[in-house]
């Protein structure tokens, strides 16, 4: 057997691996890898916990959002009902007040009409009395005039009482 460079490469190869085994390098590498694996496993477990917590928080937030939406829908529905009721109420009040104003105006018109008729009657009675006075004073003598005037005055008073009643 000749010792050549291949032999020395093989011997140095075995010595190198023997030294590595003697210095426990594979065990240290194994320990480092095991530590990395356990760290990664811990991180994965922690991330799983965080994910479940986040899911719980998301579910709670979704429930709150749903309940808030239902409450807002209820509030809107109640507001619509209230506004409809208020519109109907205001409409009724408007019609009632306009009816009251109409009746009041009709009553005032009737009162004014009655007052105007009374004024016209009073004015026509005064005119008739004045005309009768002038006619009587120019055509009848003084003694007949007083009796006729008194008689006509009494008749007029009677008629006025009947009209005013």
Select from 97, 121, 117 the least CA-distant residue to 109. 117
Look at residue 165 and tell me whether its pLDDT is greater than 90. Answer: no
Under DSSP, the state recorded for 23 is T
Radius of gyration of the chain (CA): 62
Structure token digits, residue 74: 């209820």
Taking only the tens place, the pLDDT of each residue in 21-74 is 888 888 888 899 999 999 999 999 999 999 999 999 999 999 999 999 999 999
Looking at the whole model, is its pTM more than 0.95? no
CA torsion 57-58-63-67 (nearest 10°) is: 100
């Amino acid at each position: 057997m000749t010792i050549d460079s291949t032999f020395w490469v093989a011997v140095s190869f075995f010595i190198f691996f023997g030294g590595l085994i003697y210095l426990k390098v594979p065990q240290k590498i194994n320990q480092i890898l095991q530590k990395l694996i356990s760290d990664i496993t811990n991180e994965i477990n922690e991330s799983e916990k965080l994910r479940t917590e986040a899911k719980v928080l998301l579910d709670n937030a979704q429930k709150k959002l749903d309940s808030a939406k239902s409450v807002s829908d209820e509030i809107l529905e109640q507001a619509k009902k209230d506004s409809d009721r208020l519109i109907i109420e205001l409409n009724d009040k408007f019609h009632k007040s306009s009816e009251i104003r109409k009746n009041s105006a009709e009553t005032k018109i009737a009162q004014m009409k009655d007052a105007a008729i009374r004024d016209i009657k009073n004015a026509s009675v005064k005119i008739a009395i004045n005309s009768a006075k002038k006619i009587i004073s120019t055509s009848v003598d003084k003694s007949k005039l007083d009796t006729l005037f008194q008689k006509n005055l009494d008749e007029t008073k009677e008629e006025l009482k009947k009209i005013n009643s």
